[in-house]
Amino acid sequence: MKKKLLLINPVARYIKRKSIFFKNYIDAPFQPLNLAIIAALTPDDWEIEIFDEIFEPFSYREADLVGITSYTGSAPRAYQLAEVYRSKGIPVVMGGIHASMLPEEAQKFVDSVVVGEAEGVWEQVINDFESGRMQKVYRAEMLSMTGAPLPRHDLLGERYKIASVQTTRGCPKDCEFCSVSTFNGRQYRKRPVEEVLDELEAIEQKIIFFVDDSFIENGKESEERAISLFKGMIERKLDKRWGCQVSISVADNEELLRYAYESGCRLMLMGVESEKESALDSLGKKLNLRQRSRYDEIFKRIHDHKIGILGTFIFGMDTDTPEDLLERAKFIKKSRIDAVQPTILTPLPGTKLYERFLESDRLLFTNYPEDWARYDWSDIVYTPARMSREEMKKMMVKCWKRLGNWGTVISKFIRTLYYTRCLETGIAFFIVNYIYRMQYYYERFKD
């Protein structure tokens, strides 16, 4: 009989949303790609089940070995689920960004911790389990992405309307609030284009999101690689619609934008973070700092290729006054940005920001691991520099209301149609804005 591996994606809190529109997109926008990768690394003589709590609260299922992933906000829930299996004598392995940043903490709650990218050690984890000699910690080296097995998208099923695909790892930049370069390294590693195309060809979903933290790096080689990927998508007639995360430098390459649209790109997510020089400086966002005066021109260049912009913005930098928060919301509303992901500055473990706030005694919630649930980019977990926490909270409610009301959603829809002259992009962004309205405006700050 086959042994069974159960892979779990826990969520910080399960939310049963009432929306009848776009429900599948709101519930589970992205596939847990890391679990599909673990499944691909597991030998054929194992049965594998992937359970994602985003769809429904966990209910017990049989397993011989359990693997749990976790980001910081879901870590307390991950530890609870680990206890369910450990109390029955079933070993639990935990990986993902949180356990990699805090392996000593994770070790208290699970049998083994995988630190870093699982590719380098998963075979050994399975071998050690089979011989009854599992180790406390497995430290993975960062491997080349060439020849990596194709993630088992088939095990994730059709409930996910958007498939996740990764083509690169690592980021050479070093923003203070981000742990990507600690987890995936500062060297930019790329998968061969043909391997990415093979994966895309095998995926059922029409919509793809490239989850690379930096899909196209600044520089000729990276841009040419991206163009050859887009050309390959066109030549193979994949007919996908896709989005990605890019830096603002992408706007300077007209050819790249043209092929991106032709191959199906309708959305580019950009870490804009702030319109204010001092705020960008405090985050260490050097590229944005240099290009800040060109924001409007950059957004226009992307719109001219019928692609919409999802801008991520951070509220609560040390330079921010209460007025600055409202100004940021005003800027977003007036700008050419088609949709916004507004987040509150969050000092995640493994970042320089966390160390700085810890040293200056500014962290307000340190009853770990329980308090990690608050570290989800929507709570104020530190003492703001230029206002009280209460004052900031009040201001943020005003900002969410300004950004999430129906007037903004509809005016953004009309403006996206006007700027991009593309009905498909307009509709895509209407859905994105509707989802953010549901997620941020209603659920987080309705009181």
Q: Which is nearer to ligand SF4, 82 or 283 (CB)?
A: 283
Nearest-approach distance from CB 285 to ligand SF4, in angstroms: 7
For residue 144, give the DSSP letter: P
CA 167 – CA 217 distance, rounded (Å): 12
Nearest-approach distance from CB 179 to ligand SF4, in angstroms: 8
Q: Which is nearer to ligand SF4, 13 or 286 (CB)?
A: 286
Binding site for ligand SF4 (CB under 6 A): 171, 173-175, 178, 180-181, 213-214, 271
Nearest-approach distance from CB 383 to ligand SF4, in angstroms: 23
Nearest-approach distance from CB 219 to ligand SF4, in angstroms: 14
Residues whose CB is less than 8 angstroms from the CB of residue 219 and which lie 6 or more positions away in sequence, other chains included: none
Nearest-approach distance from CB 247 to ligand SF4, in angstroms: 6
Q: Which is nearer to ligand SF4, 31 or 351 (CB)?
A: 351
Nearest-approach distance from CB 173 to ligand SF4, in angstroms: 4
CA 174 – CA 180 distance, rounded (Å): 9
Nearest-approach distance from CB 22 to ligand SF4, in angstroms: 27
Specify the residue for token string 């589970």: 28
N- to C-terminal Cα distance for the chain?
53
Q: Which is nearer to ligand SF4, 67 or 350 (CB)?
A: 350
Q: Which is nearer to ligand SF4, 130 or 213 (CB)?
A: 213
Nearest-approach distance from CB 271 to ligand SF4, in angstroms: 5
Q: Which is nearer to ligand SF4, 269 or 337 (CB)?
A: 269
Give the three-class secondary structure for 426.
Answer: helix
> Which burial class, exposed, middle or buried, applies to 131 when counting CB atoms under 10 A from its CB (0-12, 13-18, 19+)?
exposed
Beta-sheet strands, E only, within 160-235: 162-165, 168-169, 189-190, 207-210
Q: Which is nearer to ligand SF4, 128 or 213 (CB)?
A: 213
CA 223 – CA 260 distance, rounded (Å): 11
Q: Where are the alpha helices (DSSP H) in 236-378?
A: 254-262, 277-283, 286-291, 295-303, 322-334, 352-359
Q: Which is nearer to ligand SF4, 228 or 312 (CB)?
A: 312
Q: Which is nearer to ligand SF4, 174 or 204 (CB)?
A: 174
CA nearest neighbour of 173 among 158, 188, 163, 194: 188
Specify the residue for token string 């749990």: 68
Nearest-approach distance from CB 381 to ligand SF4, in angstroms: 19
Q: Would you tell me how many other CB atoms lie within 10 Å of the CB of residue 339?
A: 26
Give the three-class secondary structure for 16.
Answer: coil
Q: Would you tell me how many other CB atoms lie within 10 Å of the CB of residue 359?
A: 9
